[in-house]
Amino acid sequence: MLRAVLLGLICSALPAVAFATLPLPADGVPALRIQGSNTIGASLGPALVEGLMQVQGLQNVHVEPGASDNEQRIVGQSLDGRSVVIEVAAHGSSTGFTALKAGKAELAASSRPIKDSEQSNLLSLGDFRSAKAEQVIAIDGVAVILHPDNPLHQLNTEQLAQIFSGEVRTWEELGGTGGAIHVYARDDQSGTYDTFKELVLSKRGKTLTADARRFESSEQLSDKVSQDRGGIGFIGLPSVRHAQAVAIVDGDSKAMLPSVGLIATEDYPLSRRLYFYLPPQAHQPWAEALVQFAQSTKGQAIVANNGFIAQTVQAVKVSTSPEMPADYQAIVKQAQRLSVNFRFAQGSATLDNKAQRDLKRVLAYLKNHDKLNREVTLVGFGDSKSDPARATLLSKLRAMAVRRELVKNGVSFRDIRGFGDEMPVAANNVDEGRIKNRRVEVWVY
């Protein structure tokens, strides 16, 4: 019932998209080759491909095993009986960018942003950080999982770094019980591993312990942890399965479980974006259509149905808590928070690619719910500064940047507030944390 309600909200919040009829490939030639993230390629990618084939009017759409493990072929038939095949290979995010460079794929799936080295290597194909190339298709959270009987329910990112680097080797060192800690991790090709490494290990100068048991599949890793009383691992949110997810603290943030709401706003410390990367200078109709479909009403419904967080906009009632500033509590008591945060490109006052698309989503929500006329408050936050007044000013300027874009489309505002470095959602001593803390919330009355 809840899933049906959520899918209904998605369909009402996102604009309908008309899909042009795509050309059929020559016999034996794949219509599209996708390589990259196991997180996307295991189920979400194939499901989106099936959805696209169905809106294209193909019949008997089904999934077949590929040539190797973690590879699939999605097959459909045209009305004249021709087979249309799209290949999905899910061997890790880095393999997607390698395949683009080698001409072995037309679309890369990645569960992390493109790296500077990958961007440089692909310059001949265009700017992969442009709005056309970098497409956020869903939000996911990296869940830290334990055996269901483990009594620990909360860990901070410093403890995680010590555990996964092998510096802490027993549960007793963390105040728990159970003896030796057994570390489980994704393989080196995995975007999930890259995300965990960047968010937890690298920023503390640590590396994964050589004792870690490595897995290409999130599902296999989760099942092993749920069977091992001393086990701990990390996986994407849909793959928690029978294991226990623990609450995470980063810096001065509060303890947060990987819940749908906290992941949707990217406040959860180990939240992440899932991407399609489309070569911007190429014209591949099936790749472009799949990206368009993934952002559409039907595509985002598939995202939600596969256990990830869709980029729909919903209003959520939030409870006040003592750590909130008094003026912020007043907003919380009167209004509801939209399930999106606006964030900014690194080192820039410009809204990032996701935020630029979120402007359209928020505007559609405000129009659909008659909230255009002084029914909205924007609340800006930032990272810490030596001068608190400057931090407050900068946080309000971020909110003003969002205001400028929405005013162009007829939105008037009740208030624009800046709370400086209050209520951090990440540590302020690293770039990634500061970027997450520089955010703008939307509240509606």
Can you give the pLDDT at residue 412?
97
The CA angle 220-258-317, to the nearest 5 degrees, is 150
Helices 353-368 and 2-13: crossing angle in degrees, nearest 10, is: 100
The pLDDT-based confidence of 432 (bands split at 50, 70, 90) is: confident
Q: Is there a contact between 413 and 347 (Cβ–Cβ < 8 Å)? A: no
pLDDT for the residue 238: 84
Per-residue burial over 112-129, b = 16 or more CB atoms within 10 Å of its CB, e = otherwise:
bbbeeebbebbeebeebb
> What is the C-alpha separation between 91 and 195, in angstroms, rounded?
15
Q: Give pLDDT tens digits for 19-56.
A: 789 999 998 899 999 999 998 999 999 999 999 999 99
Strands 336-343 and 315-316 turn out to be antiparallel
Could you tell me the pTM of the whole model? 0.83
Look at residue 20 in the predicted model and tell me its pLDDT: 86
Q: Which residue from 32, 68, 37, 36 is spatially nearest to 50, judged by alpha carbons?
A: 32
Mutual angle of helices 297-305 and 45-55, in 10-degree steps: 140
* CATH number of 141-264, picked from 1.20.1440.130, 3.40.190.10, 3.20.20.30, 3.40.1190.20: 3.40.190.10
User: Mean pLDDT over residues 142-158, rounded?
Assistant: 96
For residue 222, the one-letter residue type is S
Crossing angle, helix 388-407 and helix 353-368, to 10 degrees? 60
CATH class of 18-133+278-295: alpha beta
What tokens does 163 get?
A: 């555990």
Q: What is the average pLDDT across 341-348?
A: 88
Residues of the chain with CATH 3.30.1330.60: 313-444
pLDDT at 18: 64
pLDDT-derived band of residue 247, with 50, 70 and 90 as boundaries? very high
Q: What DSSP string runs through 213-265?
A: EEES-HHHHHHHHHT-TTEEEEEEGGG-TTSEE-EEE-TTPPPB---HHHHHT
Give the CATH superfamily of 313-444. OmpA-like domain (3.30.1330.60)
Answer yes or no: are the C-beta atoms of 107 and 278 closer than 8 Å: yes
Give the residue from 365, 260, 257 showing the smallest Cα distance to 308.
260
Please report, rounded to a whole number, the percentage of residues in the chain having pLDDT higher than 90.
82
Q: What's the rounded mean pLDDT across residues 2-28?
A: 62
Q: Residue 17: pLDDT band by 50, 70, 90 thresholds?
A: low
pLDDT at 15: 46
- For the chain, residues classed under CATH 3.40.190.10 are 18-133+278-295, 141-264
Q: Are the beta carbons of 429 and 340 closer than 8 angstroms?
A: no
